[in-house]
Amino acid sequence: MSTGTKIVIAVLGAGAIGVLAAAALVAAGWLFYGRTARHEVALAQRALLEARTQEVKRLAEAAHAEAAPQSEHPASSATADAAALAQRRKDAIARGTAYLLKEQAPDGSWGQGNVGITALCTDALLAAGYTAKDQPVRRAIDRILKAQQPDGGIYEDVGLKNYTTSIALMVLVEAGPAAYAEPIRKATEYLKKTQWDETETIDRAHPWYGGAGYGKHERPDLSNTQFFVEAMHRAGVPKDDPLWAKVVVFVSRAQDRSESNDGVFVGTDSGGMIYTPHKGGESPAGTVDLPDGRKGLKAYGSMTYAGFKSFIYADLAGDDPRVKAALDWIRKHWTFEENPELGQQGLFYYYHAAAKALRAWSDLAGESVVLDARRRPHDWRAELTEALLKRQRPDGSWTNEADRWYEGYPPVPTSYAIVALAQCQ
């Protein structure tokens, strides 16, 4: 109970006592003075009651005035804290982009001309607020467009053609859908043709159906598929396009949920995601021993967020059992200190996928706070921001000592971090 409330109760109590005392005096007046004194006693008592009422009102107003500033203080403090964190986030993004600009090659690329890495870094600059009018972005886009092939794909290494085309398409869409309309159209059509479906001589029963791989007719995986899905989402491919239903088939089969993955791999029914359902499934998180003696594949953080985001982009409803199962896994493994089930491996990819997925979920559900499995609330934007801020290096970059998937090359994790921070705004 607040101090103000206690004061009001005390004041009202005092007022009630005063009223009872006044009533007693009235009764006494009737007995003692008799008929001749009744009028005088009534007048006096009426004045006493009015004075007591005014005093109660004055004390109550004073108590309210005293309590009001105390109730408003926490909100003011929270607003100040949020503003301070937003400024720290803005400063971190600025230092991160300054690092990327310093590392950009004269031809506009990063990663010794690698188109995929160049697209990742350019996407980070765009997320930070740069535009195609800025020379670094313009030079990077020129380098990306030089890699567009006659088939519409944007690649130089055929083994990475779907991956690099997906990220490059995202960049072109963000940089200027009108200015780059034709390259965008060609890249979009190229990617739609590379999705595994009947045109690739498989049918819906095949575990690869609906997915996307690196290229060169390699098996699809959830990582490449999530970049493909985001590229289609950002390119504005209508949700009634058949590709979306096919995406849902593949992502459902990568989910550790026997009710929806058609039994293509043995898991633990955790609701999380594995890397690929190819040939009985694959997960770098390893396996767990099941009661029946079999090995069950373990889901892990970055792929679970990738699949969760893909479901949302594919227009599944928030109450869809597959969406709810993925969210339940996220709640049970809530952390930004590691990539759940993989430790520090792929940590910045995890941040990148988590930020986009949680932003999509917040937009869908209208919720800015996530409750973990123990019903504890988490402001995901604030927690993710703090996790990234404490990992930024003095030169503005981020890197991962658990060097895997290019995270030991600072421009890659720095790009992931900038995009993740931008999603927290």
What are the CB-based long-range contacts (under 8 Å, 24+) for 312-315?
312/357, 312/360, 312/361, 312/364, 313/229, 313/230, 313/232, 313/233, 313/360, 314/229, 314/239, 314/244, 314/245, 314/247, 314/248, 314/251, 315/239, 315/244
Q: Which helix (H) or strand (E) holds 146?
A: helix 135-146
Helical H segments across 195-281, by residue range? 222-234, 242-253
Per-residue pLDDT of the chain (425 residues; tens, 9 = 90+): 444 444 333 333 444 434 334 334 333 343 333 443 344 434 444 544 454 445 444 544 544 444 444 445 556 777 889 999 999 999 999 999 999 999 999 999 999 999 999 999 999 999 999 999 999 999 999 999 999 999 999 999 888 999 999 999 999 999 999 999 999 999 999 999 999 999 988 999 999 999 999 976 689 999 999 999 999 999 999 999 999 999 999 999 999 999 999 999 999 999 999 999 999 999 999 999 999 999 999 999 999 999 999 999 999 999 999 999 999 999 999 999 999 999 999 999 999 999 999 999 999 999 899 999 999 999 999 999 999 999 999 999 999 999 999 999 999 999 999 999 999 99
In this structure, what token pair is assigned to residue 9? 């109760």
Cα 54 versus chain centre, distance: 55
What pLDDT shows up at residue 18?
Answer: 42
On whether the CB atoms of residues 342 and 216 are closer than 8 A, the answer is no
